[in-house]
Structure 1
Amino acid sequence: MKINITGSSGFVGKNLSDYLSVNFFSIEKISLRNLNWKNNLTGDAIIHLAGKAHDTKNTSHASEYFEVNTNLTKELFDEFLKSNIKDFIYFSSVKAVADEVPEILYEDINPNPQTPYGQSKLKAEEYILSKNIPEGKRVFIIRPCMIHGPGNKGNLNLLYSVVNKRIPYPLAAFYNERSFLGIDNLNYLIKEILQNKEIPSGVYNFADDEVLSTNKLIEIISNTANKKNLSIAIPKGLINVIAKFGDLIKFPLNSETIQKLTENYRVSNEKIKLAIGIEKLPNTARQGLEKTIKSFITK
């Protein structure tokens, strides 16, 4: 089975390409920067990973997100519709529909993205969903939550640095629940979609089975790195005062940082598991996180 993958040089793209290759798929890496990319679209499926990631420093202009995440996706999807390729898998994001999740995120949520990144992803989703899909083709919109794995540079790496440098984690007084997605579970889910033609087109959340608090995450990092857990429970009122002060002097422990570390963001994966016909994913959230943390230690 020949699979076209855009964004194959990124973290997810590289891991997914390697995984599918080992499982006897033929991988065609498509660069949308190549003016002749349309001539290379043949085979059985397109996995569209290329896009502009969320800029946490907020230095990117909004138009950049829409040019890449929306317009390029439209162009690629139009080519898919004209081609003989059977499957189109678009990697969107949970941020395309919700920046805050007070309860549990399901696929049928009323979208309300607040950032240009999320809005550009949603516009691409809406375009795909507005088209009539020819008989014999399938279209999947994937909304993953926070993806991690060996080689990934992100918030987990920052938390590992805090633990490794023996800096006390000061927010133990807060309790939250967050969903994660290990790269091994992501790879498994995509393989199942490609191989099982009974899985219907649709929008699917991707997440590990379990949710974890940031406190539990610090515990996992400490245990895996063989470091003492130095978490301290500074009273919430004092933390809020520190956060406001941090906003004024551009200190790392500011309101935005504290919100990200303490907010809930629970994502349901029941729809994709029901479609595949499984009760649990191959790896637990803890197993995936331990594998990621171990990769930081061996750098």
Structure 2
Amino acid sequence: MIVTLPNKKVTITGMSGFVGSNLKNYLENTYEVESLSVRYLSDQKFEIKTDVLIHLAGKAHDLKKVSSPSDYYEANYELTKQLFDGFLNSDARIFIFMSTVKAVADKVDGILTENFVSDPKTHYGIAKNQAEKYILSKKLPQGKQVYILRPCMIHGPGNKGNLNLLYKLVEKGLPWPLAAFDNQRSFLSIANLCFIIKEIVEKENVESGIYNLADDQFLSTNELVNILSSVSNKKNLQIAVPKIIINNLAIIGDLVRFPLNTETIQKLTENYKVSNEKIKLAIGIEQLPITAQSGIEKTIKSFIEK
């Protein structure tokens, strides 16, 4: 039997960010939602006074590579430890930690499930993985529940991530030169993310643990370009430049610091498929409310409407 408990008090760290602001808007019609401003201090202890603590705050992956390793470990590991200790010593019942699939793997063969052995390669992923391990190392007092959520790439209206960069290419009428690469990867609509979190907060029978978060369908980068072109009413220009030529250009790009380099090619053409079957089973649904394509279309429309 599923029991819903209204009028919970929900506290969110990182509420001014993209995910936090969307989650606030999604939850505030049902719950009392408040923000908790946090940053790491070595001698800090938190007194948690809420029913549900959703920890979103942290340092995101730095694409410009100007952050020091200590920035990641303080923001994503040490701060999480302090908050979780505060949760354990409080009357709060639910702790939700926003981790990442990058805490498990930077590259995926097959489909990423929660059973994969973690082997993160970046300071961002390692710090998140350390936070996960700390949370899992603690015995939960009776009545408390803990959820470690591992989303893949999140998108939605207002998001300024990689989809926006791809949109600019299509919007300028530039051809997509990597059509020869046929990849499959997972995305996560902010609407689906908010839906899942609300389901966890409402239902009393969701088992504590680690859950991957992703949309139901996989999309290739070529399919993304198709969707971008269709929604923005631009001609779909795709060129299948031979892979050997692209890879050689990428090697040159590494040497002369050109935007087309091996790291860029990997991000645009890699396979990164994520299973969401465990979380759907846990919250008792067969499919998420928003399809991958409709979520992408909504995100792209927000770029056009600006």
Same-fold call, TM > 0.5? yes
Paired with 1:95 and 1:241, the residues of 2 have a C-alpha distance of 27
1:208 corresponds to which of 209, 215, 226: 215
Partner of residue 38, structure 1: 46
Partner of residue 181, structure 1: 188
Paired with 1:38 and 1:6, the residues of 2 have a C-alpha distance of 12
1:102 corresponds to which of 96, 109, 120: 109
SS in 2 for 1:100: coil
Flag structure 1 segments of 5+ consecutive residues without an equivalent.
none
Partner of residue 167, structure 2: 160
Q: Is the 8 A contact 1:148 1:292 kept in 2?
A: yes
Report the Cα offset of residue 268 of structure 1: 0.2
Q: Is the 8 A contact 2:15 2:21 kept in 1?
A: yes
Aligned AA (1:30): L
How many residues of Structure 1 are paired with residues of Structure 2 in the alignment?
A: 297
Q: Does 2:302 align with 1:295?
A: yes
Report the Cα offset of residue 38 of structure 1: 3.1
Partner of residue 35, structure 2: 29
Q: Is the 8 A contact 2:40 2:78 kept in 1?
A: no
Report the Cα offset of residue 37 of structure 1: 8.4
Report the Cα offset of residue 34 of structure 1: 9.7
Report the Cα offset of residue 270 of structure 1: 0.1
Q: Does 2:87 align with 1:80?
A: yes
Aligned AA (2:38): L
1:58 corresponds to which of 54, 65, 71: 65
Please give the per-residue CA displacement for 1:154-213, whole angstroms capped at 9, x wherever unaligned.
100000000001111100000000000000000000000000110010000000000000
Q: Does 2:293 align with 1:286?
A: yes
Q: Is the 8 A contact 1:173 1:236 kept in 2?
A: yes
SS in 2 for 1:205: strand
The more displaced of 123-132 and 59-68 is 59-68
Partner of residue 138, structure 1: 145
Partner of residue 169, structure 1: 176
1:276 corresponds to which of 279, 283, 298: 283
Q: Is the 8 A contact 1:149 1:183 kept in 2?
A: yes
Q: Is the 8 A contact 1:86 1:138 kept in 2?
A: yes
Aligned AA (1:31): S
Please give the per-residue CA displacement for 1:125-148, whole angstroms capped at 9, x wherever unaligned.
000000000110000000000000
Report the Cα offset of residue 30 of structure 1: 0.1
Report the Cα offset of residue 33 of structure 1: 3.8
Report the Cα offset of residue 234 of structure 1: 0.4
Paired with 2:231 and 2:109, the residues of 1 have a C-alpha distance of 30
Partner of residue 11, structure 2: 4
Please give the per-residue CA displacement for 1:67-123, whole angstroms capped at 9, x wherever unaligned.
110000000000000000000000000000100001110011100000000000000
* TM-score normalised over the length of structure 1: 0.97
2:272 corresponds to which of 256, 265, 269: 265
* TM-score normalised over the length of structure 2: 0.95
CA-based RMSD = 1.2
